[in-house]
Amino acid sequence: MTDAWGTGWADTASQSGALALFGVIAAAWGALAAEFLSAKGSLRRETAGRWAERATGGAIALAAALLAFRWAASGHAPWSSQYESSIVVALGSLAFQAFLSRQRNYAAVGLLVLPVALAVLAAASLLPGDYRRMGPLPPALQSGWLALHVSCMLLAYGAFAGTFALSLLYLVRSGEWTARTTRLTLGTGGALAGGFFAYVHQEARSGAWAALMSGAGFSEWAPWGSAKAYLACAALAGMAGLAAAHLLERLPARLLEDLPEAGTLDALNARSVSVGFPLLTVGIILGAVWGKAAWGSYWSWDPKETWSLITWLVFALMLHRRSWRGPEGRVTAWLGLSGAAAVAFTYWGVNFLLPGLHAYARP
Amino acid sequence: MPDKHLVSPSLGPGFLTRVLRALGSSRATAIVAAAGAAFLLAGSLIPQTDLSAGAEAPTGWAGALGLDALFQSRFFAFLLAAAGVHLAAATWTRVPKAWRLRPATDGASAGEPGLPCAEGARSRDLPLSPRLASAAVRRALALDFSRVALIEGPETRLHAGERNFWSRWSVYLAHFGLLLLLAAAGLKAAFGFSAPLRIEEGARAAVPVLETRFRLHGEPLGAWKSAPALWERKWASAPFEIALERFDLRMDPSSGQPVDYRSDVAVQVDGRAVETASIRVNTPLEYGGLSFHQTAWGYASLASARLAVGLPEREGDWEINAPFGQRLRITGTPWELRVAEFLPDAQWVAPGRWANEGDTPENPALRLELWKRGRAMAPLWILLADPVTRSRDEPGLSARILGLDPVSYSVLTVRHDPGWPLAAAGALATILGAVGAFYFPHRRAWVRVSPAAGGSHVEFSGWGRGFGPGSPARSRWEAALDREWAALGEAERGTVSGSGSGKTVPEGVAPLERETTP
């Protein structure tokens, strides 16, 4: 597609900008890791901390500039596709990290928040070229509701990146996260995620899931060529998951000390949900109002709607659990992790695996 | 005498209370949530058939087991109803807890009030008389809590403070909003309808409506007497028709995707236009209590095709405007042709055989029938996407499509949803409730003062979002309490005349001797 100025250079520029954003966030993460692995009170630690903060600020500015650029070039709100929306989610995660490090000096939490932003951007950057290009809005998206509904949902997802990190860190800090939990959770999760990405990047034949579920069998949608790639990626991701699990299990004692107390992590977790949950609620309702205008029905049990409702229910349960039992964090943390998994599937899985009315991720 | 805020409103007779508490218990929440999540998972992963749109029954094991229409099943309706009952019961049974400052199970013994919760409890012995310690507590509570109450026992005094009292009601407002949404869904399912309306350009169509007739007292049941329902529904036609005057489509030249399409329609009563409108995806037409939404479009047929035809042993191409289905002679030649078939989305099946996959112009193709001096030749399939198609049977014969003039059709969805106003109110209540509950955090604190050797024993506990032990709000308030105690310690022998924090006690907070609530 050509941009508003009649050239295609805007696409190249914005995709290069996204790669640069990935680099800046990776640098922020590196500086953060260096900060918390250095001896307390050392000059190196102070310098690394300063650079981590600067890099995070720079990443926020770059992400905002990228969005503004895409908005100007395409002429519509820059969250109409999977690729564009990933920049908004990354921006939400970065803002949460900036809040943590500036307001409360809980920057160590960013060791897990920033990788979420990196993962979202990396997955978006690996999408085929057609998915990344700016394009004209399909008629269904030509509405003022796009800016409101989608931005609420994506900012909620950004806040839930914080929920993911804080829930996991709570379990590690409070000693609930054992070696067995690590292997089981991250190994399985890694394999599933790997399989999913392999599936997506094999250009997932549309309707594959429908064919499988209707009893047509695997042979129609997964010929051996793609099955091999599927298995290879699943194995690689599984190994990566196990490596991460190993690291998490043996976090240096120094790093553990830098993490806030378990009770504080739990309180911060509640705060991240108190940002994400109202945004999710408002986003779902705005989407329903838009659905009423566009399709005539405010709720159609479309997979995206259904999974948004599942996500909402999980976080509602998490909030109610806190309300009933007070800040006893273990179950709350597991519910937080489940909610984050539901967000990941709503954001990525539904777009590529389950056909429905919200089929805007594909070109 | 108990404070008026401590009186718990009755839920009704004992049996009803027990039933309501069971229906609204946290265990019921877990059961409803688990059943709902399992149902939603199954409904999203197993492809669902939209039975309301008149789709054909699906095949495969999902269809055989009846799992293909989960969201239209009676079980799902029951689940939603159960969720509604649970939500109503949970809200109703918790209202008294929101109202009173002391829960029923407060550990009171021998007439002395106990601390209602042990969360973050801490205690301290003060070298102050219980009366002075109570004064300090009272003043400190009044600084940070808008609602203050006192429960007096023979020896012990329990002070209670509450901030953002109405924030708790925001939660119930959100619950009420969700109940309204469920009720709206029920209304929609019972009395709403949706139906597709396919109209070709230049044609008009009757508008289907699903009429509801209530069975009132004394009305004969007629043909539906065996049905237990209180109303019956029957498809009929609205007293007006919709004519599609023009369907306009604009494609993006680079991607080949539609960027805009609209149906210019006229509402006709007895053949006379009473209203005209342009319906787009986000711009529906509202008329006669119904809404019309642009849903789909396609090519119904072809009016004519503009072709470039090359003939054997002749130089150059003949540009022909061929009306669909008509046999034409190519001027000055022995050749005749007819555009016999039009496929908007042609897919190759076998040599010489093509099938149509859809009505949108994904891959338009034409089948040309040709005659030479009256003798039929092999038909020729030509695709819009091909630069030129050459005949294998007749060397030198070629054809290409220069342009198509299709007859479009538009599919509008006719909808009627009597629950929409209720749904809008529910959505608004849910948003207001969620924002109120999260951004005006409710918190409570209790301080019990009892006599002890050398002074008084003071115990403190409290809860609320953002009020956990170590939280900034909690630390701030505990510091205020410490300041009050310190100031009163200094003035132990004098008259208590002011707050130790130096802040002014808000108006409406009565002196200790006249215990009331603001």
CA distances from B425 to A289, A318, B77, B86, B433 (A): 12, 26, 22, 20, 12
The interface predicted TM-score of the complex, written ipTM, equals: 0.79
Per the model's pLDDT, the better-predicted residue between A21 and B124 turns out to be A21
Lowest mean pLDDT among A182-191, B27-36, B50-59: B50-59
Among the candidates A137, A170, A188, a domain finishes at: A137
Considering the domain architecture, whether residues B279 and B318 belong to the same structural domain is answered as no
B259/A274 touch (CB, cutoff 8 Å), yes or no: no
Q: What angle do CA B172, B178, B179 make, to 5 degrees?
A: 90
Average pLDDT over residues A85-95: 90
Average pLDDT over residues A3-27: 79
A294/B282 touch (CB, cutoff 8 Å), yes or no: yes
Domain contains B223: no
Average pLDDT over residues A180-207: 63
Considering the domain architecture, whether residues A124 and A217 belong to the same structural domain is answered as no
Domain contains B430: yes
CATH number at residue A117: 1.20.120
Beta-carbon-side half-sphere exposure of residue A117 (alpha carbons within 13 Å): 36
Considering the domain architecture, whether residues A275 and A169 belong to the same structural domain is answered as yes
| AA letter at B483 | R
Answer whether B39's CB lies under 8 Å from B82's CB.
Answer: no
Average pLDDT over residues A353-357: 66
In angstroms, rounded to a whole number, what is the distance separating the alpha carbons of residues B460 and B144?
15
In angstroms, rounded to a whole number, what is the distance separating the alpha carbons of residues B39 and A238?
29
CB pairs under 8 A between A and B: 141
Q: Does residue B293 register a pLDDT over 90?
A: yes
In angstroms, rounded to a whole number, what is the distance separating the alpha carbons of residues A329 and A332?
5
Q: In what order do the strands lie in the sheet with B157-163?
A: B122-126, B455-464, B443-452, B157-163, B147-152
Domain limits at A281?
144-363
A296/B291 touch (CB, cutoff 8 Å), yes or no: yes
In angstroms, rounded to a whole number, what is the distance separating the alpha carbons of residues A196 and A218?
15
Considering the domain architecture, whether residues A99 and A207 belong to the same structural domain is answered as no
Domain contains A2: no
Selection from B230, B222, B219, B228 nearest residue B191 by Cα: B230
- Looking at residue A211, its pLDDT comes to 45
Contacts of B404 (CB under 8 A, 6+ apart): B302, B305, B306, B342, B361, B364, B384
B36/A288 touch (CB, cutoff 8 Å), yes or no: no
Find which of A103, A137, A298, A310 to mutate to test the B interface (most B CBs within 10 Å of its CB): A298
Considering the domain architecture, whether residues B196 and B293 belong to the same structural domain is answered as yes
Q: Does residue B515 register a pLDDT over 50?
A: no
Q: Does residue B487 register a pLDDT over 70?
A: no
Residue B85: helix, strand or coil by DSSP?
helix
A299/B36 touch (CB, cutoff 8 Å), yes or no: no
Angle between helices A151-173 and A262-294 (to 10 degrees): 160
Considering the domain architecture, whether residues A75 and A161 belong to the same structural domain is answered as no
Q: How confident is the model at residue B314 (pLDDT cuts 50, 70, 90)?
A: confident
B427/A285 touch (CB, cutoff 8 Å), yes or no: yes
Q: Is B154 exposed, middle or buried (0-12, 13-18, 19+ CB in 10 A)?
A: exposed
Residue B268: helix, strand or coil by DSSP?
strand
Considering the domain architecture, whether residues B313 and B389 belong to the same structural domain is answered as yes
| AA letter at B185 | A
Lowest mean pLDDT among A6-20, B223-237, B360-374: B223-237
- What tens digit of pLDDT does each residue of A228-274 get? 445 555 566 666 666 666 666 666 666 677 778 888 888 888 888 98
In angstroms, how far is CA B271 from the centroid of its own chain? 39
A139/B46 touch (CB, cutoff 8 Å), yes or no: no
Q: Give contacts of A362 with chain B, Cβ < 8 Å.
A: none
Considering the domain architecture, whether residues B174 and B259 belong to the same structural domain is answered as no
State the CB neighbour count (10 A cutoff) for residue A128: 12
Q: Are strands B335-343 and B258-269 parallel, antiparallel or unpaired?
A: unpaired
Nearest chain A CA: its distance from B438 CA (Å)? 6
Q: Using CB atoms, which residue from B40, B47, B185 is nearest to A309?
A: B40
What pTM value is reported for the model?
0.79
Which residue of B lies nearest to A283 if distances are taken between CA atoms?
Answer: B431
Average pLDDT over residues A103-115: 78
- Looking at residue B454, its pLDDT comes to 80
Considering the domain architecture, whether residues A148 and A52 belong to the same structural domain is answered as no
Which residue of B lies nearest to A285 if distances are taken between CA atoms?
Answer: B427
Considering the domain architecture, whether residues A52 and A175 belong to the same structural domain is answered as no
Answer whether B330's CB lies under 8 Å from B311's CB.
Answer: yes
Q: Using CB atoms, which residue from A214, A271, A281 is nearest to B58?
A: A214
In angstroms, how far is CA A348 from the centroid of its own chain? 9
Domain contains B224: no
Q: Using CB atoms, which residue from A293, A306, A320 is nearest to B40?
A: A306
Considering the domain architecture, whether residues B239 and B183 belong to the same structural domain is answered as no
- Looking at residue A360, its pLDDT comes to 60
- Both structure tokens of B354: 């093509």
A139/B282 touch (CB, cutoff 8 Å), yes or no: yes
Answer whether B294's CB lies under 8 Å from B280's CB.
Answer: yes
Q: Which helix (H) or strand (E) element contains residue B266?
A: strand B258-269
Q: Is B218 left (phi over 0), alpha (psi -120 to 50) or beta?
A: left
- What tens digit of pLDDT does each residue of B139-198 get? 878 877 888 888 888 888 888 888 887 777 888 899 999 999 999 999 998 889 999 999
Written as one string, the DSSP assignment of A140-182 is GG-STHIIIIIHHHHHHHHHHHHHHHHHHHHHHHTT---HHHH
Q: Using CB atoms, which residue from A2, A278, A355 is nearest to B434?
A: A278
Average pLDDT over residues B409-416: 93
Considering the domain architecture, whether residues B446 and B433 belong to the same structural domain is answered as no
Average pLDDT over residues B287-291: 92
- Looking at residue A243, its pLDDT comes to 63
Domain limits at B211?
190-216+229-300+410-421
Answer whether A321's CB lies under 8 Å from B33's CB.
Answer: no
In angstroms, rounded to a whole number, what is the distance separating the alpha carbons of residues B109 and B106?
9
Per the model's pLDDT, the better-predicted residue between A245 and A340 turns out to be A340
Which residue of A lies nearest to B463 if distances are taken between CA atoms?
Answer: A326
- Looking at residue A48, its pLDDT comes to 87
A135/B29 touch (CB, cutoff 8 Å), yes or no: no
Read off the DSSP letter of residue B8.
Answer: P
Tell me the sheet residues that pair with B283. Answer: B280
Number of independent structural domains in chain A: 2
CATH number at residue B113: 3.30.530
Considering the domain architecture, whether residues A113 and A249 belong to the same structural domain is answered as no
For residue B289, report the phi and psi dihedrals to the nearest 5 degrees. Answer: 80, 5
